[in-house]
Chain A
């Protein structure tokens, strides 16, 4: 630290404040303060619980205390957080510190939870610090005259940058930053992040246009203890969710012997079920445990967070909704239910416990099916080797770009040339060409290439002075309601008939229920009374039989790092027992797998084939994670389809993939070699992606983000009904009539870039071609095959003509009919 800085007023004030609280700053905090004072931008990397927030927040305070005359009235520091549930605690912590320090700054919150009246008040009288989500930032940019609000900003902080990077929300953040940078002078940009595999790149993405930037790393490390919770008996046939109930007692034991426990599940559906199971197993916990996920009423969530912080709760069952940020001090134990899908995520969750930087974090892993037990061994190995995943940033996401262009056109408006330079400044759009830019401009002003002469398309207007802006109120309203990049199914509000809002469920879930059916939400059992517009009216119920809603999406694929360790650990099943608890426990499963089929060593590649009355099934086990399997499966199905006319349904999971069909497959070694060959891979990738309609699935999100399909028409359903079309339909129309459309191209690119991980795919085929291919016919589904068999989400691919397919399906239908009659 420079001595001039050490002697500065601001630094002295903060040191005194900390000393009064018996805090000693970490060296990375002091380093950040010093760099900030020298007008650096940068990124702070530290484990959870070490005071990353104070590193940058106090830097801003010190800077102000040292140079108060350089500041203008109004907003000075913007704190962008990915989760709105965090904003409360962050704002509170900052406000407390400010009050104690004696600085009369106000901290405001601006998220989706804040009423529009409150937001209007803020605009007129901005607080000094605002805590905001990326979406709310974009909403602010969509406001007229936002420039006067934002132009005196001194610093923008992106919290939990690792969580945003590698998502389209990260691109939202990038665009928001470049916008603010363009209307301010000497803006500093800082990010806070946990450790990820590509920190240098993370900083580059954050602020490529700030040459004065540095990474500040905490030297402090946090020790993590990983404990697997094993069932008393091993189920040979693993089955998602099946093991749950037998494990409940063990989780209850952990809750009872800990102070406060966070129980992470992977889906909201799981969290509802586990909450019920725990309560049933230990009714004494009623009132002491809570459930927290993204579809639960906001007020209830806030109440839970508050009580968690104050130590009034014994346990909270949650999803990634409590993944980040706030440290709930009383939490001393974390339980992870089911696969965490990645090493970094697992370690971050572990870090939620043992709040003091000097205490180790303890995490229990509760497998939900047998194969996940191998994952514990893999996770331990990954932690030992510190193999932390990368977060690959998105580039050239035209959907986010066109959305942002309309956002700015709705706010201050933009001039073509300046705005292009601004956009090119970002990492995401550094490579955008002039042609693509002009396409985007045409897309928002004329609706694209093919309709140049149609004057009725007027989303964005170019004025005589060359300013691009939105004039139609209707366009503006629809756009504001749909800002953001998180695409989900249509959500419906669940309300008690007597009043009181519980949470949200997806339309498709409720469409399967009849009045009188019971379901659980936010840990309460309710029965469906009626559905009105977007409201689902329910009354409380005591029924023991109730459905747990499932919410689509949110299925994370396993990372390549973890799958690599998994492959290693599985191969241990061939070896005589060693010290690893999990592997030893799985011995009977390994024996069964060996008996029925085979356990692949690291030099082998296993393919299984089973015939039964439901069809003909081929199973492949590359252990590369679901995303890679999606593509591999399509390629193999496509290649088989080239050999003979055949139709497949394809299921994938993190371990392998299944191709199911309605006709026997005469598999030979020759054929296996051909379909798993690395030859002609590039061409087959493209053909199979087309055949399997993978781009169509990607287009679902793109269509929403680009404003072609509206997720949210809040209360105006009827009014906008005539302009609702499915993304599938629009995809088809573009394919037929506008094949050059960049959004369409983006859909294909996304399959390649974030799914394909081409290098990883080629590597996988390389590995397989060097492996000894083992083909086994099995009488029954093996432990490896079983989880694939029950996978319900499937893609389909066919090389048969439609007439044959219909004929075969008609026969099946006829057979079924006869069966039910006899």
Chain B
């Protein structure tokens, strides 16, 4: 795995190809749109999605935890896809094994799970968070905020074109003026390649299997 080092507001961040950011200063792993419980939610509605989906995401987090020194995980929204379901049992077991790590959840539109459960899982819930110089909120703000915003929600992707009508579609980080949008962390999510920032300085960091590259 080859993370990409970038500097934002004089802070050093690592963009990891596993679709998250590592901020060494806080020993924090920052990710968004984890959608825990999505596969079980589908099953509950009669759509057969195998359970391995969640396990793979948990394995990815485990790998990240062994690659970086992590004290905190910050989830920028949509950590949980729906209400309580059987996937959360699996998550609960995992959470117990990592009780030394604190988890902060900045609520997203999907996060409707009860505060009591969040308490059980030892997750700090908040609507937004300020950790200078960054401001964290699930949905990217349309108007420019006073602080540099880090968000998710969009599941950004990019379509690359080559000669001979060649084309590939990959997830990416979007960095624009005053904001960064994280790709969706979960492997059971789609991509939005149409999302546009009205911003000429916008940069896209494309994620290709095991490395991150600026386009």
Interface residues of A (CB under 8 A from B): 443, 447-448, 450-451, 454-459, 472, 474-475, 478-479, 614-617, 647-649, 651, 660-662, 707-708, 722-723, 725-726, 728-730, 733-734, 736-738, 794, 796, 798, 802-803, 805-806, 808-810, 812-813
- What is the interface residue range for chain B against chain A? 35 or more
Are A723 and B41 in contact, with the CB atoms below 8 A? yes
Known: A806-B208, A809-B160. 6 other contacts (CB 8 A): A478-B46, A614-B165, A615-B166, A616-B163, A722-B41, A808-B163
Task: Determine the residue in chain A with the shortest Cβ distance to B213.
Answer: A806
Q: For the complex, what is the distance from the CA of A687 to the CA of B46, rounded to whole Å? A: 33
Are B43 and A451 in contact, with the CB atoms below 8 A? yes
- Give chain A residues whose Cβ lies under 8 Å from the Cβ of B43: 447, 451, 454, 456-457
In the complex, whether B86 has a CB less than 8 A from a CB of chain A is: yes
Task: Determine the residue in chain B with the shortest Cβ distance to A662.
Answer: B163
- Give chain A residues whose Cβ lies under 8 Å from the Cβ of B215: 810, 813
Q: A723-B42, A725-B190 are in contact. Are A662 and B166 (CB under 8 A)?
A: yes
Interface flags, B178-212, vs A, CB<8A=1, else 0: 00000000001110000000000000001011010
Q: For the complex, what is the distance from the CA of A513 to the CA of B85, rounded to whole Å? A: 40
Q: A454-B43, A661-B163 are in contact. Are A809 and B50 (CB under 8 A)?
A: no
* B87–chain A nearest beta-carbon distance, Å: 9
User: Which among B160, B166, B208, B215 has the greatest number of chain A C-beta atoms within 10 A?
Assistant: B166
Are B162 and A662 in contact, with the CB atoms below 8 A? yes
Are A806 and B160 in contact, with the CB atoms below 8 A? yes
* B190–chain A nearest beta-carbon distance, Å: 5
- Give chain A residues whose Cβ lies under 8 Å from the Cβ of B110: 722
Q: For the complex, what is the distance from the CA of A806 to the CA of B168, rounded to whole Å? A: 9
* B211–chain A nearest beta-carbon distance, Å: 7
Q: A661-B166, A722-B82, A806-B213 are in contact. Are A813 and B161 (CB under 8 A)?
A: yes
- Give chain A residues whose Cβ lies under 8 Å from the Cβ of B85: 456
- Give chain A residues whose Cβ lies under 8 Å from the Cβ of B208: 802-803, 806
* B118–chain A nearest beta-carbon distance, Å: 19
Q: For the complex, what is the distance from the CA of A808 to the CA of B168, rounded to whole Å? A: 12
Q: A451-B43, A796-B167, A809-B162 are in contact. Are A737 and B82 (CB under 8 A)?
A: no
Q: For the complex, what is the distance from the CA of A383 to the CA of B25, rounded to whole Å? A: 79
Are A448 and B50 in contact, with the CB atoms below 8 A? yes
Are A738 and B50 in contact, with the CB atoms below 8 A? yes
Q: For the complex, what is the distance from the CA of A737 to the CA of B39, rounded to whole Å? A: 12
* B208–chain A nearest beta-carbon distance, Å: 4
Q: A725-B190, A803-B211 are in contact. Are A808 and B164 (CB under 8 A)?
A: no
Are B166 and A723 in contact, with the CB atoms below 8 A? no
Task: Determine the residue in chain A with the shortest Cβ distance to B47.
Answer: A708
In the complex, whether B119 has a CB less than 8 A from a CB of chain A is: no
Q: A456-B40, A649-B166, A806-B213 are in contact. Are A451 and B48 (CB under 8 A)?
A: yes
- Give chain A residues whose Cβ lies under 8 Å from the Cβ of B56: 736-737
Are B48 and A457 in contact, with the CB atoms below 8 A? yes
What are 29 contact pairs spanning A and B, CB under 8 A?
A447-B46, A450-B50, A454-B43, A455-B86, A456-B40, A456-B43, A456-B85, A457-B46, A458-B46, A459-B46, A615-B163, A615-B165, A647-B162, A648-B164, A648-B166, A662-B162, A662-B164, A725-B49, A729-B190, A736-B52, A737-B53, A737-B56, A738-B52, A803-B211, A805-B162, A809-B166, A809-B168, A812-B163, A813-B215
In the complex, whether B44 has a CB less than 8 A from a CB of chain A is: yes
- Give chain B residues whose Cβ lies under 8 Å from the Cβ of A725: 42, 47, 49, 188, 190
Interface flags, B20-56, vs A, CB<8A=1, else 0: 0000000000000000000111111111111111001
User: Which among A455, A648, A733, A812 has the greatest number of chain B C-beta atoms within 10 A?
Assistant: A733
Are B44 and A457 in contact, with the CB atoms below 8 A? yes
In the complex, whether B81 has a CB less than 8 A from a CB of chain A is: yes
Are A812 and B161 in contact, with the CB atoms below 8 A? yes
Are A806 and B52 in contact, with the CB atoms below 8 A? no
* B171–chain A nearest beta-carbon distance, Å: 13
Interface residues of B (CB under 8 A from A): 39-53, 56, 81-82, 85-86, 110, 160-168, 188-190, 206, 208-209, 211, 213, 215
Q: For the complex, what is the distance from the CA of A479 to the CA of B43, rounded to whole Å? A: 15
Of A614, A723, A730, the contact of B45 (CB 8 Å cutoff): A723
Of B46, B51, B164, B211, the contact of A615 (CB 8 Å cutoff): B164
Task: Determine the residue in chain B with the shortest Cβ distance to A455.
Answer: B86
Task: Determine the residue in chain A with the shortest Cβ distance to B40.
Answer: A456
- Give chain B residues whose Cβ lies under 8 Å from the Cβ of A803: 208, 211, 213
Q: A649-B166, A722-B82 are in contact. Are A802 and B209 (CB under 8 A)?
A: yes
Task: Determine the residue in chain B with the shortest Cβ distance to A812.
Answer: B162
Q: For the complex, what is the distance from the CA of A729 to the CA of B168, rounded to whole Å? A: 16
* B149–chain A nearest beta-carbon distance, Å: 25
Are A448 and B51 in contact, with the CB atoms below 8 A? no
- Give chain B residues whose Cβ lies under 8 Å from the Cβ of A723: 41-42, 45, 47
- Give chain B residues whose Cβ lies under 8 Å from the Cβ of A649: 164-167
Of A448, A456, A707, A813, the contact of B86 (CB 8 Å cutoff): A456
* A541–chain B nearest beta-carbon distance, Å: 27
Of B160, B164, B209, the contact of A660 (CB 8 Å cutoff): B164
Q: For the complex, what is the distance from the CA of A46 to the CA of B44, rounded to whole Å? A: 51
User: 10 closest A-B pairs (Cβ-Cβ)?
Assistant: A615-B164, A737-B52, A459-B46, A447-B48, A660-B164, A662-B163, A737-B50, A649-B165, A615-B163, A809-B160
- Give chain A residues whose Cβ lies under 8 Å from the Cβ of B164: 614-617, 647-649, 660-662
Q: For the complex, what is the distance from the CA of A740 to the CA of B182, rounded to whole Å? A: 34
* B188–chain A nearest beta-carbon distance, Å: 6
Task: Determine the residue in chain B with the shortest Cβ distance to A815.
Answer: B163
Are A614 and B163 in contact, with the CB atoms below 8 A? yes
Are B160 and A733 in contact, with the CB atoms below 8 A? no
Are B45 and A475 in contact, with the CB atoms below 8 A? yes
Are A448 and B160 in contact, with the CB atoms below 8 A? no
Q: For the complex, what is the distance from the CA of A454 to the CA of B48, rounded to whole Å? A: 11
Q: For the complex, what is the distance from the CA of A698 to the CA of B65, rounded to whole Å? A: 39
User: Which among B49, B209, B213 has the greatest number of chain A C-beta atoms within 10 A?
Assistant: B49
Are B50 and A451 in contact, with the CB atoms below 8 A? yes
- Give chain B residues whose Cβ lies under 8 Å from the Cβ of A802: 168, 208-209
- Give chain B residues whose Cβ lies under 8 Å from the Cβ of A736: 52, 56
* B168–chain A nearest beta-carbon distance, Å: 6
Of B51, B165, B188, the contact of A451 (CB 8 Å cutoff): B51
- Give chain B residues whose Cβ lies under 8 Å from the Cβ of A443: 48
User: Which among B39, B47, B52, B190 has the greatest number of chain A C-beta atoms within 10 A?
Assistant: B47
Are B160 and A813 in contact, with the CB atoms below 8 A? yes
- Give chain B residues whose Cβ lies under 8 Å from the Cβ of A472: 46
* A704–chain B nearest beta-carbon distance, Å: 12
- Give chain B residues whose Cβ lies under 8 Å from the Cβ of A708: 47-48
User: Which among A457, A617, A796 has the greatest number of chain B C-beta atoms within 10 A?
Assistant: A457
Q: For the complex, what is the distance from the CA of A614 to the CA of B48, rounded to whole Å? A: 44
Q: For the complex, what is the distance from the CA of A812 to the CA of B163, rounded to whole Å? A: 7
Q: For the complex, what is the distance from the CA of A725 to the CA of B48, rounded to whole Å? A: 12
* B158–chain A nearest beta-carbon distance, Å: 10
* A247–chain B nearest beta-carbon distance, Å: 30
